[in-house]
Structure 1
Amino acid sequence: MKQLLYTLLLIAATALAGCKTDYANLPTFTGARQLQAVIEVPAGNNLQLRYDADKREFVKDKDAGQDRIIEFLPFPGNYGFIPSTEVGKNGRGLNIIVLSERAETGSVLEVIPVGVLQLEQDGDLKPIIVAVPARPSERTIEATTLANLSKDYPAAKEILRQWFMHKNPTIETRFVAWRDEKFADQEIQRWMKL
């Protein structure tokens, strides 16, 4: 009887483990053509998390074997990636920061891209999509274009620029430019998996 119960529990656990959400391969857009963002690091966190597509789980990011802690200021927005995109050699999704109240790790948000913060890190261009929630009731700022963000929230742009330039002192980071929402759409299309 114990053996049968153990076997059934093992089968159930295996079945549940096989049901993990594959966040990396969720659709980039919903059926209504709304962009989606997968949140890895909630706003206000200092612990860097990342999605491990092989394990299908969120894990602590490591730097030289140690948990990666941002020793600057906590994340100024909800940080993650756009599903079904792939940038660079490591297969990571296109980075996105969603300016809103805290969203927990594993949240999938419908968003509107406002623009792109372009950085250069160790000689490689690194685009970071800046977005706001698609639902007006979830927004903390009322900017849905880079022009609105620049006019109504210039300090938010400066905070993001400074934060991303200083979050990791071991990587040489240079600000390249701010790009608008049309450029953001082009970047998303460029990095979508076929």
Structure 2
Amino acid sequence: MKKTPFLVLVMLLIGVSTGLSHANPLEGLAAGVKALDPYTLEGEKNFLSGHEPRNPDGTVTAVIEIPAGTNDKWEVRIPDGNMVWDTLDGKPRVVKYLGYPANYGILPKTVLSKKMGGDGDPLDILVLGPAFKRGQAVKARIIGLMRMTDKGERDDKLIAVVPGGPFGEVKNIAELERQFQGVTLIMETWFRNYKGPGKKITTSGFAEVDEAQKLIDEGIAEFKAQIPGK
């Protein structure tokens, strides 16, 4: 198979000129998402507890916090399930680096708990391909995970593709590396460096689907234990 040209690879990974980085960050929201204030979003369904993490067809549900190619750092908050604009030094946080290399979000009804070595937030997921809208619930297929730690805490990222999308035929990490050479390197490089020099972020390669599914099982169980009835 011919190597995919690097520029084409990057364009596939994040989409071409997404148009979702605005002076007004409340533009470009998914249908049914409303702003409670300039820094808080509420979904038609609760972002954390209103969607099932797994679907009958074998896909998962990814709730998009940060569209590919954008830099505003939003996150779903536990326990209320609203999406909030993260702050740094009292100001809305904008990542001062290249735009996110994939759609970044969470797997609802999961948590990477302290017991699991994590930070107590929902499981993170990267959905490869062109940008989705902030707050959008996307059906995606898991192909593996990226092993990562941040300040000594486990911070693994699930990796997923969208059936019918540019990466839709990829089944696992081995196929991703073979068919789209450089994508895993782009993701590792981005996450090791996006917070700037001297930050304690490490990546230690990628794992295949079985390990990713095991992490999802554990994350679902921890959510049920911490937030019963949701």
TM range (shorter): 0.7 to 0.9
Amino acid corresponding to residue 23 of structure 1 in structure 2: F
1:156 and 2:183 are equivalent in the alignment:
yes
| Partner SS state of residue 205, structure 2 | strand
**Higher Cα radius of gyration:** 1
CA distance in 2, matches of 1:163, 1:23: 26
Change over 3 Å in CA distance of 1:152–1:32 after alignment to 2 = closer
Amino acid corresponding to residue 194 of structure 2 in structure 1: K
Partner of 1:9: none
1:92-113, Cα deviation, whole Å (9 max, x unpaired): 2100010021100111111111
Answer 1 or 2: which has greater strand percent: 1
Deviation at 1:71, TM superposition (A): 0.8
Q: 2:143, 2:209 within 8 Å by CA — same for their partners in 1?
A: yes
Partner of 1:12: none
Query: Any unmatched runs of 5+ in structure 2?
Result: 1-41, 225-230
Q: 1:21, 1:56 within 8 Å by CA — same for their partners in 2?
A: no
Deviation at 1:19, TM superposition (A): 8.1
Q: 1:99, 1:141 within 8 Å by CA — same for their partners in 2?
A: no
Partner of 1:173: 201
Partner of 2:127: 98
| Partner SS state of residue 76, structure 2 | strand
Q: Of 132, 142, 148, which residue of structure 1 is paired with 2:161?
A: 132
Change over 3 Å in CA distance of 1:126–1:55 after alignment to 2 = closer
1:37-85, Cα deviation, whole Å (9 max, x unpaired): 0000011111111123555432211112111111111011110000000
CA distance in 1, matches of 2:151, 2:160: 25
TM-score scaled by structure 2?
Answer: 0.70
CA distance in 2, matches of 1:190, 1:125: 14
Deviation at 1:141, TM superposition (A): 5.7
Partner of 1:74: 99
1:19-52, Cα deviation, whole Å (9 max, x unpaired): 8421101211124342110000011111111123
Query: Any unmatched runs of 5+ in structure 1?
Result: 1-17
Answer 1 or 2: which has greater helix percent: 1
Amino acid corresponding to residue 175 of structure 1 in structure 2: T
Count of residue pairs the alignment pairs up: 176
Shift >4 Å, 4+ stretches: 53-56
CA distance in 2, matches of 1:35, 1:187: 13
1:118 and 2:147 are equivalent in the alignment:
yes
CA distance in 2, matches of 1:24, 1:130: 19
Q: 2:43, 2:135 within 8 Å by CA — same for their partners in 1?
A: no
Partner of 1:86: 111
